[in-house]
Amino acid sequence: MGDAAARPPVGAAFVTGGVEIVTVRPEDGTLRLDRWFRRHYPRLSHGRLEKLLRTGQVRVDGKKARAGDPVSPGQTVRVPPLPDLPPAEPPAAAAQMRPQDAAMLRDAVIHRDDWAIVLNKPAGLAVQGGTGMTRHIDALLDALRFDFRERPRLVHRLDKDTSGVLLIARTAAAAAFFTRAFRDKTARKIYWAIVSGLPQPPQGRIDLALAKKPGAGRERVRADEEGRSAVTWYRVVDHAGTKASWLALLPVTGRTHQLRAHCAALGTPILGDGKYGGNAAQLPGGAAAHRLHLHARSLALPHPAGGTLRAVAPLPTHMKRVWEFFGFAAEAADPFADLDIE
């Protein structure tokens, strides 16, 4: 009780001796500490942040923290003096949003209620910003306020080049509820993909730990026994001989590039995934293989008001063309309906 009573109002920043005690705001939702710093102190390098964390100069609720620790609205972050950095900039205002971007995001809504908004995220649109990236869903969330005063917030992520179901929470309470569902693995996500070749066996469980690959360039992971556990169930729904297969994928864990790395490890990389499949991620003739063919097809998870929230996202145009090219059916029953995920 004493700690909670001592906290400043949410969103406030107390300054003493150059040290800021900043309260995480409702619009930030729950996110990793390093991502919170990236949002509010974009010129603070990750390496410098790690040093500040190691030396205890950055603390959460008065305790030492790590870069990957989650922070939630109402918690306090101790920020030491950063004299050579500019002050944090406020989030992009709705007035600065291009009308066409706001319209695009609203057109992508496939479900909306008082707790949640579900998007069918377009391929090629990033969920969060990075170096030099200003156009992404996180910066456009004001377009999804509708009649709510609170700014919506992200609950999970999809890769920039992956299309499909993306859940947005409309309130801080909803964000906390949905975040717990993902953490406790009561959220069930199914992806559809076209892969080059035919996996053998045609269904199974991939248990292959992954670690981020060091070095310059774009983010990438690799198989590593000492990496983080990564588990994916897969089943072939249909196939065109041994040239290509329609795979349903059910990730148990949510590692960076997990499905792409796991499909490549099967020897059947996802069509268009040059990063993990190289030339093997192409089809004879190169049919539409210039874009990643990975789609978050459906999501089911508990709803804060009771029952289950279910959402299904139609395929994007570039994947529809491949389905038509191979004569695959446009719909399919849940291939994992009878699978009991521990």
At 197, give phi and psi (nearest 5°): 100, -170
- Asked if 168 and 116 count as a contact pair (C-beta separation under 8 A), the reply is yes
Confidence band of 13 (pLDDT split at 50, 70, 90): low
Per-residue model confidence (pLDDT) at position 215: 60
Per-residue pLDDT tens over the stretch 301-333: 999 999 999 999 999 999 999 999 999 998 888
Alpha carbons 72 and 172: distance in angstroms, whole number = 9
User: pLDDT tens digits for 50-88?
Assistant: 999 999 999 999 999 999 999 988 899 999 988 776 554
What is the helix, strand, coil percentage profile of the chain, to 5?
Answer: 25, 25, 50
Lowest mean pLDDT among 2-16, 216-230, 271-285, 304-318: 2-16
Tokens, residue 225: 């026994």
- Whether 7 shows a pLDDT value over 70: the answer reads no
Rounded distance between C-alpha atoms, residue 196 and residue 164, angstroms: 21
**Tokens of residue 154, six digits:** 């992200």
17 or 323: whose pLDDT is higher?
Answer: 323
Tell me the pairing of strands 294-302 and 308-312: antiparallel
Residues belonging to the active site: 159
DSSP string, 107-128: HTEEEE-SSEEEEEEPTT--SS
Contact between 202 and 246 under an 8 Å Cβ cutoff? The reply is no
Integer Cα distance of 155 and 31 in angstroms: 9
Q: State yes or no: pLDDT of 93 exceeds 70.
A: no
DSSP states of 16-40: ETTEEEEEPPGGG-SEEHHHHHHHH
| pLDDT at position 3 | 43
Query: Is it the case that residue 9 has pLDDT exceeding 80?
Result: no
Which pTM does this prediction carry?
0.74
In this structure, the strands spanning 163-169 and 116-121 are antiparallel
CA distance 36 to 47: 15
Q: Which two tokens stand for residue 2?
A: 């004493």
Place of tokens 């994007």: 316
Give the neighbor-by-neighbor strand order of the sheet with 63-64. Answer: 13-16, 19-23, 76-79, 59-60, 63-64
pLDDT of residue 337: 85
Q: Which residues of 81-91 are buried (b: 16+ CB within 10 A; e: fewer)?
A: ebeeeeebeeb
pLDDT score recorded for residue 335: 87
CA 4 remoteness from chain centre: 30
